[in-house]
Amino acid sequence: MAGTSPAMTHDEDLTMATHKLLLLPGDGIGTEVMAEVTRLIDWLNAEGIAHFTTEHGLVGGAAYDADKVAITDATMALAEASDAVIFGAVGGPKWDAVPYDARPEAGLLRLRKDLGLFANLRPAVCYPALADSSSLKREVVEGLDIMIVRELTGGVYFGEPKTITDLGNGQKRAIDTQVYDTYEIERIARVAFDLARKRRNKVTSMEKRNVMKSGVLWNEVVTQVHAREFPDVQLEHQLADSGGMNLVKWPKQFDVIVTDNLFGDMLSDIAAMLTGSLGMLPSASLGELNAKTGKRKAMYEPVHGSAPDIAGKGAANPLAMLASFGMALRYSLDLGGLADQLDAAIAAVLAKGLRTADIKSEGTTAVSTSEMGEAVVKEMQALQV
C-alpha cells in the first residue's frame, strides 16, 4: 500500500482499517451515479489513502428481474455484515405492475426496517457556486449548512390503527395514528445532540405541542435528554408550522433540526429546495448505536430517484451520490478528514463552472455524469499535495 496522504489526520493515518461496503446501485440512474462512487473508491484504494472492500448486490427492479423479489435474503445478509450500505435509487415504469410486496421500493423499506434505521439525516448545504439556482435570494441561502434529523421508523406513518372503515351511511372514516414512545424520542434526540456537538452546537426541536399529545411528550423528552446528557448544546423549541416558515424566511438561524417522521418528511423537502437541485442532495439513515462495537448500522443514498427520463443518457448528476458516500466516510467510517476533502472537491468542481444538465446555467461548462465524477477525483488528487 502506498504512503498515506499528508492531508490525512493523525487518527486516520494510524488506523488504515479495512472498510466493508455494500454497494446497491439499483435501477435507472442509480447504476450511473454509483459508477462514480466506484471510480472514487478505486482511486482511494489505489493511492493507499484508505482501504475499502466492496460487495455488490441487486435491489429494486434489478433484483425483481433476477429473483422476483425487491431484495434477496442473501443481499440482506451482506447489508447486515457491512460497515455501510451505499444505495443508488430504485424504481421505474418497467416495474409498475409487479406484485405490491415485490415493488422496487419494498427493497428500500426492508433495508430500513431490518437494519433498524431510525434516524434520517438530510443536510441542506448551499454551495456558493449554486446560490443562484435556489428559488430564494442569494443572501438568504449562500453558505447555508443545516442538518435535518428526521425520525424514520415511528409516528403516524406506522402507528396502529391505520384503517379506512365504511360507516354504512355513505360515509367512510380514515384513521392514521401518531404514536411515539419515550425511547424513540430519546434515541433520535441523542443523534441530533451528538451531531450538533460536531457542528455549531445548536439543536432546534420541532413539534406541535399546542395541538398534539405526541408533541407534548416530544418536547418533554427532548428537554430531559438535553438537561441530562447534553447541557453544553444550545437547545430551542419551535412549533413545526412556524419552524417551516422560519426555514424559508431565514434558514441560516438553524444548525441541527430534530423532528418526527411526518414533519421531518415535509421540512426536509423544504430545506432541500433551498439548495437548488435534487441532483445535489445526499442523505444518511442510521440505526442504534451498538455499545460493544461503538458502530451503527447505516445506509447512505441520494435523495433523488431513478430518474427514468434521463437514464442511460450520461446526464445524471453524480454529486448527490458522491456526497452520500462522503457522509458514509464521516458518520460510519471515522474518516472525517477524507469527507472534508470530498466536500471541498465537490465545491471546487462547481466553482470551476462544471455543471451537469440539471444545474446548468449560462456561462458554465456542460459535463456528463462520468466527466463530473472524473473531475471530482482530479480535485481530490490536487488536494493530496
Q: Is 278 a binder of ligand NAD (CB under 6 A)?
A: yes
Is 27 among the residues known to form the active site?
Answer: no
* CA neighbor of 107 nearest in space, from 90, 121, 127, 86: 90
Distance separating alpha carbons of residues 348 and 42, to the nearest angstrom = 21
Catalytic residue (one of 68, 96, 241, 313):
241
Closer CB to ligand NAD, 305 or 373, in the complex: 305
Closer CB to ligand NAD, 29 or 147, in the complex: 29
Nearest distance in Å: CB 50, ligand NAD: 25
Binding residue (CB under 6 A) for ligand NAD from 25, 57, 91, 373: 91
Is 73 among the residues known to form the active site?
Answer: no
Distance separating alpha carbons of residues 136 and 128, to the nearest angstrom = 13
Is 269 among the residues known to form the active site?
Answer: yes
Can you give the length of the chain in residues? 385
Distance separating alpha carbons of residues 320 and 342, to the nearest angstrom = 12
Q: Is 316 a binder of ligand NAD (CB under 6 A)?
A: yes
Binding residue (CB under 6 A) for ligand NAD from 19, 208, 304, 355: 304
Coil, helix or strand at residue 115: coil
Binding residue (CB under 6 A) for ligand NAD from 44, 76, 85, 90: 90
CA 84 to chain centre: 13
Could you give the residue ranges of the DSSP H alpha helices within 332-366?
336-351
Residues sharing a CB contact under 8 Å with residue 72, sequence separation 6 or more, in sequence order = 57, 58, 63
Q: Which three cell numbers stand for residue 299?
A: 445506509
Distance separating alpha carbons of residues 74 and 187, to the nearest angstrom = 29
Q: Is 279 a binder of ligand NAD (CB under 6 A)?
A: yes
Closer CB to ligand NAD, 205 or 306, in the complex: 306
Catalytic residue (one of 208, 297, 300, 343):
208
Q: Is 285 a binder of ligand NAD (CB under 6 A)?
A: no
Interface with ligand NAD by CB under 6 A: which residues?
29, 89-92, 108, 278-279, 301, 304-310, 316-317, 320, 356, 358
Q: Which residues are identified as catalytic? A: 157, 208, 241, 265, 269
